[in-house]
């Protein structure tokens, strides 16, 4: 399936391009369905494609040499292309996988590199997205160091909520514990606190956001700055 006309393109990075630039690269975009768990990139392996999500949520997971893993950053239709790819590197630095099923468009990596050289608008948007993502990573690192698990969970749920169409997010405690790099009972307990406050409803494998404003207030300074920076970086680009 070919890429849709730009006015129907949900991926924010592609939607931002001037239409002439979009039309130029669109023939190299191929639609892909991305089930939960599919890998968009594997640490240490060559980059084959870059992906522009139109739904679902992906995460970048860092893995230590001894096999400890934690989520470094997450993305959805706000768009993200691995730093490795923007830098023109051959090899993925991290694992990138789908944590919530979705779909998107992918571009062959060689084609992407070619467009990055020939299309100034595309490279401008990609470099902006790199900056936006690195701000997110910095705040994730800060949050991991400064905020307690319940605040970090609130932040993380808000970030997921920003990227799904409704109020429901299908996630297991096991999965969240991997993402936040805490033990599962810490997730269960933190969800219990958020639910006790009426911010969310937590059922098995399934979280519903009930009061987003209150959840944001609870997350306090753990949430909001990177989101604001993203909007600033993507404003008035062309």
Partner 1 sequence: MTRYFFHIRRNDETVLDEEGDEFASLDDARVSAVNAIRELVAAKIKRGLMILNEHMEVRDEADALQLVISFHEVIEGQLKR
- Summarize as ranges the residues that interact with partner 1 (CB under 8 A): 148-149, 172-174, 182-186, 188-189, 192, 204-205
Count Cβ atoms below 10 Å from residue 124 Cβ, excluding itself.
15
Q: How far is the CB of 172 from partner 1 (least distance, A)?
A: 6
Distances in whole angstroms, Cα of residue 161 to Cα of each of 143, 169, 209:
18, 7, 8
DSSP bridge pairs for 91:
46
| Nearest residue (CB) to partner 1, 134 versus 189 | 189
Query: Which of these, 81, 64, 77, lies nearest to 134 by C-alpha position?
Result: 81
**Which of 69/192 has CB closer to partner 1?**
192
For residue 8, give every residue at least 6 positions away whose Cβ sits within 8 Å of its Cβ, in sequence order, or none: none
**Minimum Å distance from CB 182 to partner 1?**
6
CB of 222 to partner 1, least distance (A): 14
* N residues, the chain: 238
Rounded to whole angstroms, the Cα distance separating 224 from 158 reads 9
Long-range contacts of 65-69 (CB under 8 A, 24+ apart): 68/181, 69/95, 69/178, 69/181
Nearer to partner 1 among residue 35 and residue 205 (C-beta): 205
Nearer to partner 1, 16 or 187 (CB): 187
How far apart are CB 205 and partner 1 at their closest, in Å? Answer: 8
Our CB check for partner 1 shows the closer of 145 and 213 to be 145
Minimum distance from residue 183 beta carbon to partner 1 (Å): 4
Q: Can you point out the beta strands (E) in 42-189?
A: 49-63, 69-75, 95-108, 168-169
- Whose CA is closest to 19, among 133, 112, 119, 130? 119
In the numeric block, which tokens belong to residue 107? 């571009």
Task: State which residue, 204 or 235, has the beta carbon closest to partner 1.
Answer: 204
Q: Smallest distance from the beta carbon of 21 to partner 1, in angstroms?
A: 46
């Amino acid at each position: 399936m070919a890429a849709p006309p730009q006015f129907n393109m949900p991926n924010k990075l592609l939607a931002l391009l001037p239409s002439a630039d979009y039309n130029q690269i669109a023939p190299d975009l191929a639609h892909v369905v991305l089930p939960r768990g599919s890998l968009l990139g594997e640490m240490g392996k060559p980059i084959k494609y870059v992906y522009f999500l139109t739904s679902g949520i992906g995460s970048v997971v860092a893995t230590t040499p001894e096999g400890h893993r934690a989520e470094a950053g997450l993305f959805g239709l706000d768009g993200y292309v691995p730093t490795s790819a923007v830098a023109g590197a051959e090899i993925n630095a991290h694992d990138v996988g789908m944590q919530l099923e979705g779909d998107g468009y992918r571009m062959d990596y060689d084609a992407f590199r070619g467009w990055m050289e020939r299309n100034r608008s595309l490279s401008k948007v990609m470099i902006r997205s790199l900056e936006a993502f690195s701000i997110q990573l910095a705040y994730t690192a800060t949050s991991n160091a400064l905020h307690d698990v319940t605040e970090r969970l609130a932040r993380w749920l808000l970030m997921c909520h920003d990227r799904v169409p409704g109020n429901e997010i299908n996630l297991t405690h096991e999965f969240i514990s991997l993402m936040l790099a805490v033990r599962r009972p810490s997730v269960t307990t933190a969800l219990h606190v958020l639910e006790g406050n009426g911010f969310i409803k937590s059922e098995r494998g399934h979280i519903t956001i009930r009061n987003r404003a209150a959840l944001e207030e609870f997350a306090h300074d753990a949430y909001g700055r990177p989101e604001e920076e993203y909007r600033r970086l993507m404003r008035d680009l062309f």
